[in-house]
Amino acid sequence: MVYLDGKDSGRLVRAVSDSLQTACWVNYEQVNPDDTFGQMMLHNLQQRDCPLLGLTAWPTLEAQRERFLANGWEGATAMDMNDVYARLPAEDARRWVMLRCRLAPQACMGAGYLNPAPTSTPRPRCLCGCTSTFACARSHAAECSPSPCCQGRAHRAVG
């Protein structure tokens, strides 16, 4: 829906709400156009003449949520992919992130998918020299176990 004008996507959300008594809508689109990942994605898409017309109308998770609530939906929850990954069992999250990041490593680095949430504890790094810092689903290196990295070697989390 991010490719639609903001008003048009709002009308679509309203039309679905008005047409269905019971519905679940899963929407996967960009938010936060002003962060590093957002700027990178916008630049790449603009170079391909592919504008994200609705991005400025619904730029944040809260705005996404409000779009549904303002257009007839009784409830709405918005999560970014880091929230989704955090809710997955650790092994599933690791496999999903590693697959995603093999396909688009720059996007993963910009979005922070390869980085655990910031803490006062140093983030784990991989000894193999790859750019991945996603060695485990935890933020403490001492709790990490070796796992396959993006280059097929084993991650060895350090400091």
In three state form, how does the secondary structure of 52-79 look? CCCCCCCCCHHHHHHHHHCCCCCCCCCC
Tokens of 46: 């603009």
- Answer yes or no: do 19 and 85 share one domain: no
Domain range for residue 56? 6-69
Cα 57 versus chain centre, distance: 19
1 domain-assigned: no
- Answer yes or no: do 57 and 107 share one domain: no
Q: Quick one: the chain helix, strand, coil %, rounded to 5? A: 40, 5, 55
pLDDT along the chain (159 residues), means of 10: 93 96 91 88 89 91 95 93 82 78 62 47 43 41 42 42
Closest listed residue to residue 113, CA positions, set 128, 89, 131, 127: 131
Number of domains in the chain: 2
pLDDT at 68: 96
- Answer yes or no: do 85 and 146 share one domain: yes
